[in-house]
Structure 1
Amino acid sequence: MGQTWRILTALILGIALGTGWGWVRGPGLDSTVPIAELTGGLWLDGLRMTIIPLVVALLVTGIARTADSAREGNLALRSVLVFVCLLWLSTAIAAVLIPGLLALSPIPTEAAAALREGLARSHDKVTAAPGVLAFLRSIVPTNPVAAAANDALLPLIVFTTVFALAVTRLPAGHREMLTGFFGAIADAMLVIVGWVLWLAPIGVFALAFTVGVHAGTSAIGALLHYIMIVSAAGLAAWGLAYPVAVFGGGLSLPRFARAAIPAQAVALSTQSSLASLPSMLKGTELLGVPAGVASVSLPIAVAIFRVTSPAMNLAVVIYIAHWFGIPLAPATIATGAVVAAITTIGSVSLPGQVSFLTSITPIAVSMGVPIEPLALLIAVEMVPDLVRTVGNVTMDIAATAAIARSVRHRAGSQHDPVTNAPD
């Protein structure tokens, strides 16, 4: 949280200094802005250099973990299937919800134009999304190495997914060797990301200063608008947990809400689903979920699946497209939704700033949306990340209760430990 506050402080100071200096047209402004643009650009490039190897490594290890979990028995397989369905459902909700919210409450035209000017490097790199036929033709890469070199992330993700599925069919020794290799690459890339994020206050300050010069105080209102729109996608996924608990788990709404509060409190204070796991186990115990079910389903959920991530990641990209005036056809949004759902499997259970760029970049590239604004938006990720974590924790408890109920029904028992437990 200390680093989060430093980055947020750098954002505020950068916008304030840029706004004030730009308003009075102080001496040296014309020479300072290019230096700030260079500094922010170098910092962003430092993050971008880790994206390709990190996305590939995390996707391979994520799919391998999913397959290993499914091999552990029917309960693990059932848990994997439930969480995969919930991931796709939350993504579909965001794909409909966010364009609708932006139609009802668009970013102010003046603010959007000023922000585009403040991030001119991004505006220069906007590329049109391919048509449907061109998109279908480009899905399968003829040369995965060339796809990586050209930042063609969607074909690279397709190849990596197929490769990871092939790895899961290898003998145990070969499978462990390859997953260990890619796991080590992911760990090394995360160390580099940590180093670059240590410099984030400098990079964010430089970018915010440039935006402040061009956009002035409208940048603050635009960022608040962004936080509300993106958080709405997470709140929708979070809200989905309650009907899952009621209709899937057979629980009363007040009882489920009371049992989830301790885990939600830990999630708010730590921004980590992993740190919330003990509280989630206690919550499922209060709901009458058998320990044998919770001890399998919850670790799988924490290690592999985060239900709010694809919805909120897709929302970020849709918002940037709206910001830059890029029209998104339904097919383009559907493409982004598919990429969001697939890449979430390989994301890491760490505070959102660590995985923000690596999770969202593949979606943006597949939709023809610039990624440079992400370097500025990462500074305000703290609030959406709180929504992400609390939503994930709440859904994990609800889905585990639903899985426990389905297991008991399948076994043909007349006593359901979830639905018949005393209120």
Structure 2
Amino acid sequence: MKESARVLLALVAAILLGVVIAAAQNASLIRTADAIAPIGTLWVNSIRMTVIPLVVSLLITGVASVSDIKSIGRLGGRTVLTFVLLLIGVAVVIIPAAMAVFALLPPHGELQIPPGAVEAANEISAGGQAQTFSAWLVSLLPSNPIAAAANGAMMPLILFTLLLALAIARAPEASRVTLTGFFRALSDAMLVLVRWIILAAPLGVFALVLPLAVHAGATLAGAIGFYVVVYSIASVAVTLLLYPVVTIVGRIPLRRFALAALPPQLIAFSSSSSIASLPALVEAAEKELQLPERVSGFVLPLAVSSFKIAAPVSWTIGALFVGWFYGVPVNVNSVATIAFAAVFLAFAVPGIPRGMQSLMSSLRC
């Protein structure tokens, strides 16, 4: 059985078993499901521990091994432009689609914002330091790259790594060959480690999803359940719309791409982290799709750290849901402003679970 099939089977089994346990309301079974959650956390941590050395080694190898530095600049420019165009395309599609769905709903009722909600939100915001745009811009270049790596600050780390890779590319031949060989060997070793970790993916996914399914069984109802369903359908629809783009623009057969993308998608789904899916993405790009090294070594690390295709979806649906829930009308101009703001703020969102909330908690109006 292929790895993707085993992971998918584990995912489905965890969801079905979780729903059954939730319906039974058996305290012993619920405690058992909660007890295996640390196994899933350990598996996600094992993936994450490979991410930074893999990102650094792949970027340096991909950039420093190219003799023509201008080609890297052109590739980077095309990559960022592609990211922006895809995000804008998603925003253009999701605005009318989401507004049409919410327009079909009966009024939920003009509920009052719960007492103390505003004060609680202010306290949460005050808990972190306010960050201005200039402060955020300065933070992109780390004063201490080791600290950036330790803190998981991917964008500053990637900028430092790109500068280091460009410096290595311009270094004397002997130094360039030595350093490039070292980082190539490091990336090869990390990919071996990744293959070992991916072998445990079915167990890790099962341990992650089962406790969630057990507790979601009691809450997937009412307004919150409706939001989850609408957001999930929209995310899946946006993902499926990108498949023809890959076939037409990338000239990769649809079935081949879908099979290669499935394992990274399942890992991203179960861990709620795009960064955690990087090792599987690199594995699929090199083994299944035979993509060139400049793609697996440059574009993919850049994508998981800065390209958040779901940002316009989550912001748009979230705004419409809150407006519907509290009976506050949200017009098309407001929705468009929110969706297109998400296009550019998406590049500041870390590719970790609840990354958007991490960004928003550091910003105050």
TM-score calculated relative to the size of structure 1: 0.55
Q: Give how far 1:22 is off.
A: 0.3
Distance 2:51 2:238 in 1: 26
Partner of 1:227: 236
SS in 2 for 1:314: coil
Taking a change above 3 Å as real, the CA distance of residues 59 and 273 of structure 1, as seen in their structure-2 partners, is: closer
2: CA distance, partners of 1:324 / 1:50? 33
TM-superposed deviation, 1:86: 3.4
Question: 2:287 & 2:154 partners in 1: Cα distance?
Answer: 31
TM superposition shift of 1:94: 2.2
1:368 to 356, 359, 364: 359
Q: Report matched runs for 1:3-402 at 5 Å.
A: 3-65=3-65, 67-68=66-67, 70=68, 83-103=75-95, 104-105=97-98, 130-216=131-217, 223=232, 225-233=234-242, 235-236=244-245, 239=248, 241=249, 267=257, 310=303, 313-316=307-310, 333-334=343-344, 336-337=346-347, 360=351, 364=355, 368=359
Amino acid at match of 1:135: W
Listed one character per residue, the Cα deviations across residues 129-187 of structure 1 (whole Å, up to 9, x for unaligned) are 94412211211211111111111222211211111111111011111111111112212
Q: CA deviation at 1:265?
A: 6.3
Distance 1:277 1:174, change over 3 A: same
Q: Residues 29 and 221 of structure 1: is their aligned pair in 2 closer, same or farther, counting only changes over 3 Å?
A: farther
Distance 1:2 1:213 in 2: 27
Q: Distance in 2 between matches of 1:139 and 1:365?
A: 17
The whole-number CA distance in structure 1 between the counterparts of 2:311 and 2:187 is: 24
The CA deviation at 1:47 is 1.0
Distance in 2, matches of 1:186 and 1:363, equals 28
Distance across 1 between alignment mates of 2:130 and 2:338: 8
Note the residue ranges of structure 2 that are not aligned, 5 or more in a row: 103-123, 262-283, 323-336
CA distance in 1, matches of 2:54, 2:170: 23
Give, in angstroms, the shift of residue 304 of structure 1. Answer: 5.8
- 8 Å Cα contact 1:267/1:273 also seen in 2: no
Rounded to whole Å, the distance in 2 between the matches of 1:306 and 1:152 is 18
Rounded to whole Å, the distance in 1 between the matches of 2:135 and 2:259 is 46
Mapped contact 2:349–2:355 kept (Cα < 8 A): no
Query: Retained in 2: the 8 A contact 1:22–1:29?
Result: no
Question: Which residue identity lines up with residue 315 of structure 1 in the other structure?
Answer: I
Stretches of structure 1 lacking an aligned partner (at least 5 in a row):
72-76, 109-123, 243-259, 279-297, 341-359, 371-423
Structure with more relative contact order (C-alpha pairs < 8 Å, separation 6 or more): 2
Letter in 1 for 2:344: A
CA-CA distance at 1:7 after TM superposition:
0.5
Residues 16 and 366 from structure 1, CA distance in 2 versus in 1: closer, same or farther, beyond 3 angstroms?
Answer: closer
**Alpha-carbon deviation of 1:2?**
0.5
Question: Is the CA contact (8 Å cut-off) linking 2:315 and 2:342 kept in structure 1?
Answer: no
Question: What's the offset of the Cα at 1:41?
Answer: 1.2
Take 1:232 and 1:128, find their aligned partners in 2: how far apart are those partners?
39
In 2, Cα distance between equivalents of 1:62 and 1:362: 28
User: Cα–Cα, structure 1 residues 147 and 236, in superposed 2: closer, same or farther, change >3 Å?
Assistant: same
Letter in 2 for 1:148: A
